[in-house]
Every structure is written in C-alpha cells, then in structure tokens.
Chain A
C-alpha cells in the first residue's frame, strides 16, 4: 500500500513540475511598457554578434520598442522556422531570408508586409533610391516597389594569392581580367608549382551561372529572369554558357581548375593556400583576413572579352529582412518594424556593418561614410565589390533573379555540371538537362502559387 502511494506522489510531482516549468519561460518575457519585436536571423558568430550590436544600438536609440534578436540556425532553418511559425499564427515580426528564398516570400501573399506598404502605413518617409540599384532591384517588384529590406548583401569577386603569383613569375598587381588570362595564369601557376591548384570556385551556380549571366548581359531565364512572370524558363544552355562549362571542363582536365564542391565548401581552399584563385563571395573577407598566411588581393570577376557589352554590373547574394504578419498584430508593432528598418538604412549603420563584416555597403551614403572614414585607403581592394555592382546601370539581365524554388534549381545545375566534370556527359548535354529539369521545377512552382 505504502509503495503505491509513493509512486502516486512521484508521478504527481513530475506532472506538477512539468506544468509549472512550461509557461514560466514565456511569462518571463513581458517586461515594462516597450513593445517587443521578434527578429529571427540566420547569422552565427561572429556576424551575429555584430548584428546584436546594431540591435542594441537601436534599442538604446529610443524607448518605445524593444527588438529581440534570436539566432535560428542557418538560412534554410530560419526560413522553415518562420514558415512553421506563420502557419501556427505566431510569425516573428522580422525574419532574415536568403536571396534564393525571395520568390517564395513574394508568393507568400498576406504572410508578408512589403516594405513600401509598411513604410507608407507607418507614415515614415522612405526613399528607395538611396540604395545601390543592383541592391534595390533585387528586392523590388517589377514596377520598382521595395518588398524587402536589403541587409547583408554580397557579390562574387575573384580572390587571388599575390605570393603565388610572384612565385609563378606573374605580376601580383595585374590580376587576370578575362577567362583567357585567368586560364593562362592558372597554367603558369601549375607549371611552376607555385600552388597545388590554380583556380577553384565557391557557390558554383551563383558564381558561374547567375553572376556569369549578369556580367555578360545574357539572360539566366526568360521574363526578365522571372521578374515579369511565373512562366519564366531557364536560358542557361546558350552557346556562351556551353562554352564556359567547356572551359571549366578543359581546365579541370589539364589540372588548372579544381572543383571544390557545392555551396560554400570550396571557400577553405583559398585561405589555406591550396588554390591560388577563387571566384567566391565578397563576404569571404572575414575568413581570409583571419586564416590566410599570404598576401592576397581581390579583383573583378573574369569575363569573355569577345562578348559584346561585357562586363556589366554583377548581382547580389546574401539575405534581406522581411516584415511578417500575424493575427492580432497591431499597427503599433508594424510601426516599430518600420522604425527599425529606417534605422538600418542609415549611413552610419550601413557603413558600420560593411566595414565590420565585409558585406556590401547598400546605400550611396554608406559608401561615402566608409570613404570618409578612410576604410578603402586602409583596406585596398575592398571597394571592388561595390564598384563592380555599380559599374553599369542594371539591364533586364542584371537586376537579379526572381525564380521560384531557386534552391532546388541551384542544386540541379550543380548536379548536372558535376556529371559533366566527371566525364559522364558533355557540357551541352549537362546544360540541356539542367534547363529541362529546372523548367519542370519552375512549372511546379507556378502551379503551386496559382493554386487550384
């Protein structure tokens, strides 16, 4: 009898503790009079720390709103978390979404509040033309209304190892401008064994197809790369694209190009000294500064100089901030989000973020501020990314991409070129397959968005 009684008590105790502990965590977060704004972001350390400093500055700058930043894991995790939260009626006020998620966010209808609408309703004047056109267009509707708040943007550039260039007898201050020059430099580097690998690329689809198409002013997809309609089709099997993949295959065969894997996995090959050149994100800066034990330089992305009009401006990557809706969210809360966005677009914050992290300055004022602080004199080469972005006025091919299920399309392209690199298919076959499979994905997105 006594035993049973004891068991009952233990079970009850566990239940009581469980009930008490559960809600306590949520009760604890309702202090004072300030309106709390949830901000989910996807930047780990050290970038996340820099972002937290900006949030703290905003919270200190006024006393109506309190932005609470939460690290939600990588970009894919953060996006999935925000979507699940939205479906449960508890979306965060602000979420950071990577550039490939843009089309999905736009298709999210009432789940998001476009920035132009947010600002208008809050009565805050907001001029999108303060942004660099390549940044502004990427996150605008086709008629130029800003939908998301640009935040951490990067672009692709060519990083090169000056020590390896010297060792190979190349001029370290004359980096290759074209693909022919890049290949010749890589051959020289291999012939003199100045580095174990001449050239590699991070983010293969982003650098070799998305950026490549922009700077050569050729379409990645029809319908203005998807800006003008859901019925866009991929155009990456053009003769120029085939020629480029063939160049990469040839370089792979002669041992001057090394394929470093998908996404950012090839990043490490440059700072380790393994590869003397890499086409990668401008935001690789932090890692290169920390890890590279050699003198390095950056320059513009290589191009084919016989292509008319090349080189044009490159496009951006990275992420933007989206205002999300939820049931019972008040106008005052949206106003707080608008105030926070306005704060972020200020020249000081923009320049601070740029100089601390290596992400791009997004506004012309931000660039001026960084210049005034002498950043580009102290850090030669760091003006290359924004100069490359602003070197021409965006054409319909260089505004960016607006394609649904883009993460899936990126993977498809990488899969097909990997097969070509393994010699299982030709460059033309790889790109034809990528276009066919990519178009199936685009049709699925079109069908899903239009619903039934």
Chain B
C-alpha cells in the first residue's frame, strides 16, 4: 500500500528543509563559488592590486614540481591509511564478533579512539614516537635503529599514516561489527555443515555479504584520509621534514593561511573539488555494481 506523505501543504517540506539548505548554502556553495572566483585572480592578502589572472594560478601549480610531489604523497598516504584502517577494523570486528568472554569490554575499548580529537591523538603518538621524549622512539634508538621522524621523511610519513589510521580503525570497527551482526547466522551454520573451513566461510560468505559496508567505508575512509587528517599532520610534522608529509589539503592550508597567497590556495581547492567529484563518480558508477545488497 502506498501512503501519501503526511504533508498536504506544499510549503511545509521546504520550510523543514530550509535549515539544512541554509547550512549547505553558507558553508558549502558560497565558499565553493568564492574559491573558484579567487582562483582566477591574483591579489595581495588584503585584497589590493586585484587583477584577473585567468588560469595562471593553475598553470603555475601544474608546473610546480613540489605540487606534483604533494599529489604523490597524498595518494601514497591515503591508500596506506585506508588499507591499514580498513583491514585492521575488519580483523578486529571479526574477532570481537566471535563468542569470547568480555566482548562488551573489548568493543567499548576498541571504539574509544574515535572519540579522540585528531590533535590529541597526534599528541599521544608524539609521546610514543618522538625520538627523544617518546617511549617507543627512545627504545628504537636504543636498539640501534636511528628513528627520527623530524629528519627522516619515510619515518615521518609512516608515523602520520599510523596515527591517522589508528583514529579511523574504531570507526571501521563499529561499522564492520554492525555489518557482521546483521548477517544471518543460519548462512554460516549451513556452510559449516557443508564442510567449509573458517577461511572459506570468511571469503565466500562474510566478505561478499559485507560488501555494502565495505563500499560505504571505502568512500568514507578515502574522504577521511584526504580531508580530515589535517589535524594529525599539523600536530605531528607540519608537513615536513622537507615536504615529506605535505598532503594536498595541508598545502592548501600552508599556502592560504600561512603564506596568505589566496589565488594559489584557492586554485588548489578547486583542483581538490574536481578530484573529489571525479572520485565520487567513479565509486558510485563502477564499484557499486560489484556490491551485494542483502
């Protein structure tokens, strides 16, 4: 039976949508339009000497080896964060889903990191891995591994990947756990009766049935790695050493807020906007086809 919506007044739905539309308009469309217009101009920080620059900002960026390097860093960083965060989240969820004593405690503990602000999470990692004040950092150096993320780009990248992934593991854990719990136990039992081993049951039944969750998490994690890891990078490495941990988003901040170069910074946000647009399109066009919905 099809029920009509309870509203027969035409205006009310719009009125109800209004707060959300206002928020989206003010915090998304307006800044987006602003950055597109700024990206085509050159000017001083205070807005003097404005002149139309066409695509000059974009062309300079695409010829800037450091910007291209930042692309590479971002891809490496995002793929690593997503891979680590999702596989660990899944592993922990599968383990917490099995009937063991004290699951409630484990579950609660595993969800905790998500509630921690990125900057605080970064501070925790700093106290672990700082080469001279961090417990693990000191230990590594004591064992002859010259750990120093202040000076070694690979160490720095590894550290921000770990710190960012760690924060996201909990989120993935929650969703994977919910996904696992919604899979009918009868399917697994039937497979077990048919003689499927633990690995077979996971790869043949659980993993395909989890694919809607996995797909959703892939999108969310990608966005997280791209945009929400600013706090972690800012607190741990500030994009250094050299430019080893300068992701695209961090570079937007550096050029816009620190260097006060609005044209250049806006051009970068426009490029990011395009990338996200394309990425989302690809995800929904192609990946979603391979997803099984229950």
> Chain A: residues with CB nearer than 8 A to chain B?
3-4, 7-8, 11, 14, 76-77, 79-80, 83, 86-87, 104, 107-109, 111, 196-197, 258-263, 265, 268-269, 272, 274, 405, 407-408, 411, 414-416, 418-419, 421-422, 424, 444, 447-452
Contacts and interface: CB of A to CB of B under 8 A. Distances in A.
A269 B52 CA distance: 48
Interface residues of B, number: 37
B150 A111 contact: no
Given A262-B240, A405-B260, A422-B242, 11 more contacts: A11-B16, A77-B257, A83-B45, A83-B46, A86-B47, A108-B46, A108-B48, A259-B148, A261-B150, A261-B241, A422-B151
A281 to B, nearest CB: 18
A343 B62 CA distance: 51
Interface string B35-56: 0000000111111111110000
A263 B238 contact: yes
B242 A415 contact: yes
29 contacts: A7-B12, A7-B16, A76-B258, A83-B46, A104-B46, A107-B44, A108-B46, A109-B48, A111-B46, A259-B148, A259-B151, A261-B238, A261-B241, A265-B150, A269-B132, A411-B254, A415-B242, A416-B242, A418-B241, A421-B151, A422-B152, A448-B261, A449-B48, A449-B49, A450-B49, A451-B48, A451-B50, A451-B51, A452-B51
B153 interface: yes
B100 interface: no
Contacts of B45: 83, 104, 108
Contacts of B103: none
B27 interface: no
Interface of B: 6-7, 9, 12, 15-16, 19, 42-52, 132-133, 148, 150-153, 238, 240-243, 254-255, 257-261
Q: Which 4 A-B pairs have CB atoms at the shortest separation, nearest pair first?
A: A451-B49, A452-B51, A408-B259, A418-B241
Given A3-B6, A262-B240, A8 B12 contact: yes
Contact of B259 (A77, A196, A407, A451): A407
A418 B42 contact: no
B254 A419 contact: no
Contacts of B43: 448, 451
Given A109-B46, A262-B238, A418 B6 contact: no
A80 B255 CA distance: 12
A414 B240 contact: yes
Nearest to B240: A262
A11 B18 CA distance: 10
Contacts of A260: 150
Contact of B7 (A4, A80, A261, A450): A4
A428 to B, nearest CB: 17
A260 B45 CA distance: 31
Nearest to A451: B49
A4 B12 contact: yes
Contact of A87 (B46, B148, B242): B46
B240 A14 contact: no
A11 B242 contact: no
Contacts of B151: 259, 418, 421-422
A4 B6 contact: yes
A77 B45 CA distance: 13
A364 to B, nearest CB: 34
Given A109-B48, A269-B132, A452-B49, A76 B42 contact: no
Contacts of A11: 15-16
Contacts of A408: 255, 258-259, 261
A451 B42 CA distance: 8
A83 B242 CA distance: 29
Contacts of A407: 258-260
A415 B148 CA distance: 16
A134 B130 CA distance: 37
A197 B132 contact: yes
A193 B123 CA distance: 29
A261 B46 contact: no
Nearest to A437: B66
A268 B7 CA distance: 63
A7 B151 CA distance: 59
A109 B44 CA distance: 11
Contact of B260 (A79, A269, A422): A79
A80 B260 contact: yes
A268 B126 CA distance: 13
Nearest to B244: A418
Contact of A449 (B12, B19, B44): B44
Most buried by A among B9, B50, B151: B151
Given A14-B19, A109-B48, A452 B260 contact: no
A200 B33 CA distance: 46
A405 B46 contact: no
Nearest to B44: A448
Contacts of B241: 261, 415, 418, 422
